Structures are given as C-alpha cells and as structure tokens.
A and B are shown apart, each in its own frame.
Chain A
Amino acid sequence: MKKITTRQWLVFTVVLLAIGIILLALSGYLNIIIGKAATPFVSVQTWISQRYMAVYDFFTVPRDVYTLRQQNTALQNQVSQLQTQILELQQELSNTEILYALLNYARTSPEKKYVAASVIGRDPSPFLSYLIIDHGSDDGIRAGMPVVTDQGLVGKIDAVTATAARIQLITDVGSVVNISLNQAKIDGQITGSVTGDLSLGKVSTNIDLTEGDLAITNGLGGTYPADIVVGQILSPTKSENDLFQSATVQPVVDFANLKAVLIITNFTPVNIAPLENTTE
C-alpha cells in the first residue's frame, strides 16, 4: 500500500477546509465574520470612490452648469414671451368684449349708422371732461355728432382732425343735455360740473322726483337724438321755499373706464344759435 505523504495530507486538509468554509458561508454562518472582515475594505472603497467622483465632477460639472444656465435662460425667455402673450390675449379679449357689446347695441337700432372708435386720451386740463378718439374726418366724423356706448349717452364731437376727434362728455362743465324723465313724464336739463357729477335742475316743486327714475334724451334742441339713456335720478333735493327742485343724476356710462365709443354718423345736429341771437 502506497504511503500517503505529508504534502497530500496538507492538500487534503486545505481542500476540506475550503469546502467547509464554502458550505458555512453558503449556509450563512459566516455572515457576521465576513461583514466585520469586509468593513475596512468597504470603507476604503467608499473613500476612494468619493474622491474619484469629486475629481470627475471637478472636470465635468462646469460644463453641465453652463448647459443648465443656457437652458434656464432659454426657459426664462420663453416664460416671459408666454406671459406677454397672455397679457396681449387678455387685452384683446377685453377689447373684443367691449366691441361685441357695442356691436350688439348697434344692432338694436339699425336705422342709425355708427363708427366705432377707441379712446386714446383726455383733455390735459383738469377742469374739463373731454376725450380724444382715434377716428376723425377721414372716417366721416363731423363736429356735433352724438357719441354713445352700449350703456348710454357719452357726449358729442367737439372738434375733428383728419385722424382724431375730441368728444365733450356730458359730465363736462359746459355740457347741457335735454332729457325726459321716464316715470315723472317731464322734460328737464342735465348739466355737468368740474367734479364730473351730473345734476338735474329747475324742475318744478309740484313734480315728484323719484330715485331710480330714468333720464332719457328727448331730442329737444337738436343736439342729441331722442331716446338715449343718460342716467338715473339719485338724490332729489326739494325745499319748501324754493321755486325749483334739483337732483343728482348717476350717469349710466362709466366715464372713468371708457375705452371704446360709437359715433352716430347719420345724425345731423341742429344749430339753434342764430335763433337764440335773434330772440336776444
């Protein structure tokens, strides 16, 4: 029988130990030992990996920041453009709504011819209530033509150039509008003031003025066509000793936010000034 040498015993022992360790490792008995043994290696690997990533970032990140900054600028520009577009669309929507309302109003009285115009300014004097519009004699507008909106009477054309015109509002201190009251069935005159308030004056004390009564143009004097709403009676003032009573009138048109108006172009105002001079 062949004698087993020491070397063979050594190999056999090592193989047996290896198989045993593998079996122990596979069965999970060596996890704790492996974990503890691996910790220093993991720490070293982590340290090396972090340093490597730092060096890598040092060379690569600046390029990414530049790209990101470019993208950010492009996106910011896009946001600005979109915001501008939103504002423009909102403005267009607002203008369209105003024009649609004016168109609807124009359809209700087809016998009148209208020219629509945008308000582009106001008289520089704070004492006056005049508007400047962007249509003039080139569009058939003449002095004296009445101006309205879908809400009611605005005023009349005071002066005209080829491409612009000036409107005297009914709230102007020099404005007088002949009206009829819807309920009271009387005629009267509404005048403007420097503060932009309207007032109805010289109404007989025998008449009962009621709040909310509608003031409508009656066509007298030939300045304005009949049946255009001017305003509502707000606060009648009547005292026993006075010969006449008066009232504040709330205009139906919001003059502070007036953006577009309609000019009635087929109404010819009557100039009664020569008749007034004759009677004097």
Chain B
Amino acid sequence: MAELLFYPILVLLLILQMVIVRQLPLFNGTVDLLLLWLASWGLQKQGKNVWFGAIFVILLMSFVSSLPWYVWTVTYLSVAIISRFMNRHFWQNPLIALIFVVFISSIIGMLAQMGVLIFHDSAINISQSIKYVIVPSVFLDLLLAIPVYVVVNDMAQWVYPIGKEE
C-alpha cells in the first residue's frame, strides 16, 4: 500500500517534464524524468510492482503526448523489464545496473519515437535526429540517473523498509 505514494509522484514528474524540463533542452534533447524514476524504482528490492508504475506512465503519456500509445508502451515496458532483470542478476552493484538500464532503455525509447515518426511519413532527418535529439537526451538521462536513484532509494527505504517486506 505504501507504494501508492509513487503514483502521485509520477503525475508530478510528468507535469515537471512538460512544464520545466521541456524548456531546458540540451540542443533538442531533454531528460526523461519518468524513465529515470521507473528505472530507479525497478532496481530497488521493493520494486516488484514497477510494472504497475510502467503501465500508469504509459497511460499518462498516451493521454498527453501526440505520439501513439505503443511508442510509450515499448519505452516504459522496456525500462521495467530491463530494470527487474538487472535487479535479479546484478543486485550487488546497483549503480552499474542503473547506468546500463538508463542507457539501454533511453536508446530504445528514442529509437521507438524516431521509428514511429519515420513510419508516419514525417520528413525526419535521421542524422539530425541522432545528433541533436537522441545523443543529448541519452546524455542528460545518464547525467541525472544517479541523483534520481538516490532520491528513489531513500524514498523506498522510507515508505517501504526492507524489514517490513521480509
């Protein structure tokens, strides 16, 4: 039940993403706070319910964004899958797992977005997209991954201590 607290936070992060983060681009790339939050959540021992968080984020993003729902499904389900996989296999070194999860899932998300635009016949320049959107976005995601992880880790300990879980 304590994990219910994460859902209003996801809504708050989406608002921050749309109002502030999108105003602070590096070239044309921006950080994806929801992806970072889900990745950090999935890497926690208490993060078994990250799937519900991912589905919630997919619904939110499908509602507010102009991109189709399956782009967000690919993006955020991949975050949940990779983060839980890494949590099971690399649980002793969460920071390396975090970097790996964020790097891979950011690239998957960006390629999914670019792919759907190409599929819908948008006049998209692939080299420009990689240079000005994908690379800066992945860089920003990696840059902010650890601070977000620290916050999520503290919060997970606070709302759902491991002792209680066991």
Contact = CB atoms under 8 A, between A and B. Distances in A.
A124 B64 CA distance: 8
Interface string A214-234: 000000000000000000000
Interface of B: 14-15, 17-19, 22-23, 25, 27-30, 32, 34, 61, 64-67, 113-114, 117, 120, 122-125, 128-129, 132-133, 137
Given A123-B18, A126-B22, A194-B128, 16 more contacts: A121-B18, A121-B22, A122-B18, A123-B67, A124-B14, A124-B22, A124-B64, A126-B28, A127-B67, A127-B117, A132-B18, A159-B66, A168-B66, A173-B117, A173-B122, A173-B123
Contact of B66 (A123, A193, A195, A256): A123
A173 B119 CA distance: 13
A196 B129 CA distance: 11
B16 to A, nearest CB: 10
A166 interface: yes
Contacts of B17: 124
A170 B14 CA distance: 24
A194 B18 contact: no
A123 B132 contact: no
Interface residues of A, number: 23
B114 A127 contact: yes
B132 A120 contact: no
B22 to A, nearest CB: 4
Contact of B132 (A128, A158, A194, A256): A194
Interface in A6-35: none
A194 B124 contact: yes
